[in-house]
Amino acid sequence: MGEPSPTPRTVRTTYREAMRQAIREAILRDARVFLMGEDVGRYGGCYAVSKGLLEEFGPDRIRDTPLSESAFVGAGIGAALGGMRPIVEIMTVNFSLLAMDQILNNAATILHMSGGQFNVPLVIRMTTGAGRQLAAQHSHSLEGWYAHIPGIRVVAPATLEDARGMLWTALEDPDPVLIFEHNGLYNMEGEMAADAGPVDIDRAAIRRSGTDVSLITYGGTLYRTIQAAEQLAAAGISAEVVDLRTLRPLDDETIIASVTRTHRAVVVDEGWRSGSISAEISARIMEGAFYELDAPVARVCSAEVPVPYAKHLEDATVPQAARIVEIVNLMMGDRG
């Protein structure tokens, strides 16, 4: 008999550290890669993701920018057109609205408008979501807006492995990629393979298998959804949890296959319900698996109000495990 396979070595890390190591590795691997944004250098990033990188790589690779999202996103587009591989950090998703013209009218359209002559290999990272009492202007979940735009890819890493591995895959994409990092995940700790590397950003992932209902979610709501699935399991309901991972393009195949197995679907989305990514997913399920459904598709979204500052009101506004369980229990009332 041969030698037993060695147990893969793991490291204890955080989501924040996984993101930092992804940026660091990208800079080491490719001389064209650099990071730019407000306070990414001397301050170390609004969420400390880039802390220490300026000291290691210097101001040519870690570039602090003026307070003008339109200007530095535009500079990132220009750098990408010039052959570089820029990583542009926007502090929070609400600030990205100041660069919407650059993202929508330039980054997403230049390939088309140039007749296929010019790609824009740009990566834009930004923080999204509620849960940290940052009040109405800094608690938006607008990734569904960006998932509406042709010409870009939108990803939402929820696990340590995806935080570590999505960036490099995004940098290899010839077209713009937007990475939405939920602010509630930065402190998340866990074990990760020491040799964790690039990951697939084309496919959704089944995070928990089940037979009774598909819970479809992404990003910061993944763990509340898994918590709900565990509570449902204790009550005898088997919930499958689908982590979308990529919001544009959606992995229809994995979504439809899951719903075909379970015959019920609940979409959990921290965005507002009206015109949301959850509405798009619901429509695709109805188009692709209508005759497989034993109940109408349900949605758990944020209340349609500006996100409150007070903790108890903020918690009441965004999707929680208890609400997911409540919706599933109502849906499962049709059994038997």
Q: Examine the domain organization and report whether 221 and 114 are in the same domain.
A: no
- Whether residue 3 is contained in a domain is answered as no
Instruction: Specify the pLDDT at position 333.
Output: 85
Q: Examine the domain organization and report whether 79 and 148 are in the same domain.
A: yes
Judge whether 129 and 141 are in contact, CB under 8 Å.
yes
Judge whether 95 and 69 are in contact, CB under 8 Å.
yes
CATH of the domain at 116: 3.40.50.970
Q: Of 55, 117, 116, 61, which Cα lies nearest the Cα of 87?
A: 61
- Is residue 69 annotated as a catalytic residue, yes or no? yes
Instruction: Specify the pLDDT at position 335.
Output: 57
Q: Examine the domain organization and report whether 51 and 186 are in the same domain.
A: yes
Q: Using the structure block, give the residue that is written with the tokens 């109940």.
A: 295
Q: Examine the domain organization and report whether 31 and 77 are in the same domain.
A: yes
Chain centroid to CA 222 = 10
**Which residues span the domain enclosing 210?**
205-334
Ramachandran angles phi, psi of 241, nearest 5°: -110, 120
Catalytic residue among 138, 140, 181, 270: 138
- Whether residue 255 is contained in a domain is answered as yes
Integer-rounded Cα Rg, in Å, for the chain is: 20
Instruction: Specify the pLDDT at position 334.
Output: 57
Q: Examine the domain organization and report whether 176 and 238 are in the same domain.
A: no
Q: Examine the domain organization and report whether 27 and 144 are in the same domain.
A: yes
Residues 6+ apart with CB under 8 A from 140: 92, 93, 94, 128, 129, 130, 307
- Whether residue 110 is contained in a domain is answered as yes
- Whether residue 121 is contained in a domain is answered as yes
Instruction: Specify the pLDDT at position 7.
Output: 64
Q: Which residue, 155, 173, 193, sits at the end of a domain?
A: 193
Cα distances (Å, whole numbers) of residue 266 to 13, 78, 88:
31, 41, 34
Residues 6+ apart with CB under 8 A from 4: none
- CA dist., res. 207 & res. 299, Å (int): 19
- CA dist., res. 41 & res. 30, Å (int): 19
- Is residue 181 annotated as a catalytic residue, yes or no? no
DSSP line for 123-178 = EEEEEE--SSS-TGGG----HHHHTT-TT-EEE---SHHHHHHHHHHHHH-SS-EE
Catalytic residue among 17, 38, 69, 143: 69
| This prediction's pTM | 0.95
Q: Of 46, 54, 103, 96, which Cα lies nearest the Cα of 80?
A: 103
Query: 247: part of which helix (H) or strand (E)?
Result: strand 246-248
Q: Of 21, 16, 86, 89, which Cα lies nearest the Cα of 48?
A: 16
Q: Which residue, 193, 225, 252, sits at the end of a domain?
A: 193
Q: Of 166, 163, 157, 88, which Cα lies nearest the Cα of 122?
A: 88
Q: Examine the domain organization and report whether 158 and 294 are in the same domain.
A: no
- Whether residue 223 is contained in a domain is answered as yes
Q: Examine the domain organization and report whether 42 and 118 are in the same domain.
A: yes
- Whether residue 1 is contained in a domain is answered as no
Q: Using the structure block, give the residue that is written with the tokens 């690039």.
A: 198
Q: Examine the domain organization and report whether 268 and 164 are in the same domain.
A: no
Alpha helices in 235-276 (DSSP H): 252-262
Judge whether 249 and 153 are in contact, CB under 8 Å.
yes
- CA dist., res. 301 & res. 182, Å (int): 16
Instruction: Specify the pLDDT at position 4.
Output: 63
Q: Examine the domain organization and report whether 129 and 234 are in the same domain.
A: no
- Whether residue 199 is contained in a domain is answered as no
Domain count, the chain: 2
Q: Examine the domain organization and report whether 221 and 150 are in the same domain.
A: no
Q: Which residue, 131, 160, 193, sits at the end of a domain?
A: 193
86 preceded by cis ω (within 30°)?
no
Sheet-wide strand order for 85-92 = 62-64, 33-37, 85-92, 123-128, 177-182, 153-155, 246-248
- CA dist., res. 240 & res. 237, Å (int): 10
CATH of the domain at 273: 3.40.50.920
Number of neighbours of residue 256 by Cβ within 10 angstroms: 18
Q: Examine the domain organization and report whether 165 and 217 are in the same domain.
A: no
- Whether residue 105 is contained in a domain is answered as yes
Instruction: Specify the pLDDT at position 223.
Output: 97
pLDDT tens-place values along the chain, 336 residues long: 456 666 679 999 999 999 999 999 999 999 999 999 999 999 999 999 999 999 999 999 999 999 999 999 999 999 999 999 999 999 999 999 999 999 999 999 999 999 999 999 999 999 999 988 899 999 999 999 999 999 999 999 999 999 999 999 999 999 999 999 999 999 999 999 988 889 999 999 999 999 999 999 999 999 999 999 999 999 999 999 999 999 999 999 999 999 999 999 999 999 999 999 999 999 999 999 999 999 999 999 999 999 999 999 999 999 999 999 999 999 998 554
